[in-house]
Amino acid sequence: MKNLSIEEFINGFQNDHNAVIIDVRTIEEEAEGLIPNSLNINLMEPSFPEKVMDLDKSKDYYVYCRSGGRSATACQFMEKQGLTSFNLVGGIGAWNSFNAKG
């Protein structure tokens, strides 16, 4: 797992042909905003491990949550399953602030 700033995260998934963006928040939290084309796999759901184990190991996973804590936990689990993951430090809050700058 690698922790990325918002700039590194955006640059990473935009220039990575194997990128998949994963939102590990609850469906209710999506009201705070979404990164376009992200796949929701809620870390708090009992099915989270099973869904992660079904992911394609040839892809690179860019993971976010509200502030970066749950996504870091998710990334650690994903790495143990042989997946490549990148954690967005600051989560959707960092995304929203970055995009508010214009």
Return the active site residues: 65
What's the pLDDT tens digit per position in 17-41? 999 999 999 999 999 999 999 999 9
pLDDT in tens, 33-75: 999 999 999 999 999 999 999 999 999 999 999 999 999 999 9
**Domain residue limits at 10:** 2-100
What is the pTM (predicted TM-score) of this model? Answer: 0.96
CATH value at residue 57: 3.40.250.10
Domain count, the chain: 1
Say which residues have a Cβ less than 8 Å from residue 88's Cβ, sequence separation at least 6. Answer: 4, 6, 9, 62, 63, 64, 68, 71, 94, 95
